[in-house]
Chain A
């Protein structure tokens, strides 16, 4: 076999976006099984366990790559982080603004109060009802994000939806903490 004098051009770039890293289209809608499979295929090639006998340079690169793949995977598989990342790719820092519609804030203040009461009263039934309501709301925001980002490309609107999702996620985390206290 003939060898060339020119090294093969390397198309892969460490700074490419997370979607390209996994060979996925840049979109909110995600084929989770395909992401999982691509993640495992990548780690199977680059994980430090595959380089225990390699030289120091390859070991360092393997750690950097595996670190990067882990980070990208975590961002893509979580709806909130994925949407936030997509907006960042559009140059929008969704979390830099704190303007929220009044009716939304009122609803959340009601829920917060309810949560605090349920927490001190150790009222599991109320916690469960709250959790259900919050999950329904979170899902609604997620499908709205898919529409605003993938179909309408209305990024400012998507940023507002994302801020709402963050409020909801935070309350859900507090419900979780309340359950934990009761364990």
Chain B
């Protein structure tokens, strides 16, 4: 007689070890990587004890690159090949970049996204960002002593779809598994809220090197709910530097500057700004290539006057976010300051005046985003501690379509909680029309020309009918990373055409594959080894998920035959994982995926039912 083996509830048969996951703050000026170690979020330092990695990449003639402090130190000697603030170019075309003249780079106008010509060839901002991410990944793996299961990467809340997609592509290029793209102010709120057990309405004011975000959140017992977000994805500390730079040119009456001088003056301008955060005056001394000497003194009062309009530019989005949240200033319980630029005393004062309270600065504004991302990564990776919480974030900018006359038809409004989907029906305007062009845009303005174009696609195969008879349903879906996919189909006659687009500014899969190949010195074998490794990770993950699901609900939700079938598929996958056959791993993974669709649906229904039962019990207890 067989003995029944009884396992204690909560004790899994295969206790999984701590999964290594990190949070990465990919910043305009500096980037950081953090993790949760022994229950505490910590920033991981490099071998020299530096936490901040300057977001600077220098490309070398031999095709290689250097990243961080070394690259930064050579920025003035090699300005053309040393890329600073690449985040400003992510998902941006050449005409979107306002201050090209002050930058020493040789920009190349490419469809969708600008590129830069360097000694190591033409580079996309995605590739530059990937170099930074690779260094952080290596730092984390060296420090944690193992391979990462994934990373949460932060993006400015006000980043549009193009900028988010570019960030995700960069992570993919760096070989990182993206657990989630997380909005920077929301990350800061996690780090802050969990640290202080905060409850109520909070504003997060995040002024980084190149971006400004304001988010209004409601914190209630473990739920972080973003009510509204606003900002300016082209406003940050860099703009304050540029004001100082222009002031230097004006005061010193210098005209002929080479690129070396430009980079040097720019870094002196930044140093002066930083000095003014702690002193009343800053001196600026520079010897130019021509031998001319610039010797100036900048006072805080003059600095405040020249940057007052920038400070005001942050308060307008702040007002809008409050309006969108339907709240008044008095209802805000606390204001969290994030980003290095919030060290500028005038900004602290202006935000304090606006909200009628002293902003909270007890967490390091440079680190708080990475720490929050690490805490979220730890939970997403499945290393649940005692605390469990939920993040509900929003779409920052309305998403819509171009309609007749170049007007925008909004489909998903800004500040809709994600994931979200909305469908709208359109019709043909000509007799016999068999195709329809769909132009997807993002922004708040009425005219398409004033919004960001995300992509165009054509729906073909519409049955030829009289004008207005065809019914085309266009569906927008925004996922939990805030990324959009659009599909369209014709409903009128039952004939269906269906297309899903990845917006055209993003890199195509071929382009990413090409960049991946380029980044490997001995192409072929490495690529296939990497493909196999990735497929194995996916397969292993599905296998573990299926095992856990069977343990939890196998007995109650599946019949014996159904259970046998799933176990058979799991066995096939387990065998495939042991061999070096990429196609077999993929096939077995897909088969198990397909074979568990019904089981997944039943589990989901059970979860929903449990949530409601729990809720009713709660209200009974009251």
Q: Which residues of A contact B (CB under 8 A)?
A: 1, 3-8, 10-12, 21-23, 34, 37-38, 40-49, 52-58, 61-63, 65-67, 70-71, 73-74, 176, 179-180, 183
- Complex contact A23–B605 (CB within 8 A): no
- Complex contact B420–A70 (CB within 8 A): yes
Q: Which residue of B lies closest to A61 (CB)?
A: B604
Q: Which residue of B lies closest to A44 (CB)?
A: B390
Take A8-B556, A55-B545 as given contacts and tell me if A47 and B615 are in contact as well, using a CB distance cutoff of 8 Å. Answer: no
Least Cβ distance of B480 to chain A in Å? Answer: 4
Q: Which residue of A lies closest to B21 (CB)?
A: A52
Residues of B close to A23: CB separation below 8 A: 612, 615-616
13 A-B pairs (CB sep. < 8 Å): A11-B609, A37-B618, A37-B619, A44-B390, A46-B608, A48-B479, A53-B381, A55-B542, A55-B592, A67-B419, A67-B421, A71-B421, A179-B323
Residues of A close to B596: CB separation below 8 A: 55, 57-58
Q: Does B431 contact A (CB under 8 A)?
A: no
Least Cβ distance of B355 to chain A in Å? Answer: 16
Q: Which residue of B lies closest to A42 (CB)?
A: B611
- Complex contact A12–B609 (CB within 8 A): yes
Q: Does B102 contact A (CB under 8 A)?
A: no
Q: Does B614 contact A (CB under 8 A)?
A: yes
- Complex contact A46–B604 (CB within 8 A): yes
- Complex contact A65–B608 (CB within 8 A): yes
- Complex contact A58–B604 (CB within 8 A): yes
Contact of B420 among A8, A43, A46, A71 (CB under 8 A): A71
Least Cβ distance of A128 to chain B in Å? Answer: 13
Residues of B close to A1: CB separation below 8 A: 555
Residues of B close to A176: CB separation below 8 A: 323
Q: Does B283 contact A (CB under 8 A)?
A: no
In the assembled complex, the Cα of A40 lies from the Cα of B392 at a distance in Å of 9
In the assembled complex, the Cα of A48 lies from the Cα of B555 at a distance in Å of 25
Residues of A close to B611: CB separation below 8 A: 38, 41-42, 44-46
Least Cβ distance of B609 to chain A in Å? Answer: 6
- Complex contact B179–A7 (CB within 8 A): no
In the assembled complex, the Cα of A124 lies from the Cα of B231 at a distance in Å of 26
Q: Which residue of A lies closest to B319 (CB)?
A: A183
Contact digits for B361-398, partner A, Cβ 8 Å, 1 yes 0 no: 00000000000000000011110000010111000000
Residues of B close to A62: CB separation below 8 A: 604
Residues of B close to A37: CB separation below 8 A: 615, 618-619
Contact of A67 among B150, B392, B420, B593 (CB under 8 A): B420
Least Cβ distance of B136 to chain A in Å? Answer: 20
Q: Does B273 contact A (CB under 8 A)?
A: no
In the assembled complex, the Cα of A44 lies from the Cα of B477 at a distance in Å of 21
Task: Count A-B contacts at CB 8 Å.
Answer: 143
Contact digits for B522-566, partner A, Cβ 8 Å, 1 yes 0 no: 000000000000000000011011100100000111111110000
Least Cβ distance of A173 to chain B in Å? Answer: 11
Take A7-B602, A53-B545 as given contacts and tell me if A12 and B479 are in contact as well, using a CB distance cutoff of 8 Å. Answer: no
Take A5-B559, A44-B611, A49-B180 as given contacts and tell me if A70 and B605 are in contact as well, using a CB distance cutoff of 8 Å. Answer: no
Residues of A close to B555: CB separation below 8 A: 1, 3
- In the complex, given contacts A4-B559, A49-B391, A53-B382, what are 6 additional A-B residue pairs having Cβ atoms less than 8 angstroms apart? A38-B615, A46-B607, A47-B390, A48-B480, A57-B600, A58-B549
In the assembled complex, the Cα of A12 lies from the Cα of B480 at a distance in Å of 24
- Complex contact A74–B480 (CB within 8 A): no
- Complex contact A58–B600 (CB within 8 A): yes
Q: Which residues of B contact A (CB under 8 A)?
A: 150, 179-180, 220, 223, 316, 319-320, 323, 379-382, 388, 390-392, 416-421, 477, 479-480, 541-542, 544-546, 549, 555-562, 592-594, 596-597, 600-605, 607-612, 614-616, 618-619
Q: Which of B323, B417, B546, B558 has the most CB of A within 10 A?
A: B417
Least Cβ distance of B345 to chain A in Å? Answer: 25
Take A7-B557, A46-B607, A67-B477 as given contacts and tell me if A61 and B601 are in contact as well, using a CB distance cutoff of 8 Å. Answer: yes
Least Cβ distance of B296 to chain A in Å? Answer: 36
Q: Which residue of A lies closest to B182 (CB)?
A: A49
Residues of A close to B619: CB separation below 8 A: 34, 37
Q: Which residue of A lies closest to B413 (CB)?
A: A74
Contact of B608 among A45, A48, A52 (CB under 8 A): A45
- Complex contact B419–A41 (CB within 8 A): no
Residues of A close to B382: CB separation below 8 A: 52-53
In the assembled complex, the Cα of A37 lies from the Cα of B615 at a distance in Å of 7
Take A47-B390, A67-B421 as given contacts and tell me if A41 and B614 are in contact as well, using a CB distance cutoff of 8 Å. Answer: yes
Q: Which of B542, B545, B597 has the most CB of A within 10 A?
A: B545
Residues of A close to B419: CB separation below 8 A: 48, 63, 66-67, 70
In the assembled complex, the Cα of A40 lies from the Cα of B153 at a distance in Å of 25
Take A8-B557, A43-B390 as given contacts and tell me if A55 and B593 are in contact as well, using a CB distance cutoff of 8 Å. Answer: yes
Contact of A55 among B392, B546, B612, B616 (CB under 8 A): B546
Contact of A40 among B390, B542, B602, B610 (CB under 8 A): B390
In the assembled complex, the Cα of A106 lies from the Cα of B560 at a distance in Å of 70
- Complex contact B323–A7 (CB within 8 A): no
In the assembled complex, the Cα of A10 lies from the Cα of B602 at a distance in Å of 7
In the assembled complex, the Cα of A180 lies from the Cα of B603 at a distance in Å of 47
- Complex contact A12–B608 (CB within 8 A): yes
Residues of A close to B223: CB separation below 8 A: 40, 43-44
A-B pairs, top 7 by smallest CB distance, nearest first, are: A48-B480, A45-B607, A58-B600, A41-B611, A12-B605, A57-B600, A57-B597
Residues of B close to A34: CB separation below 8 A: 615, 619
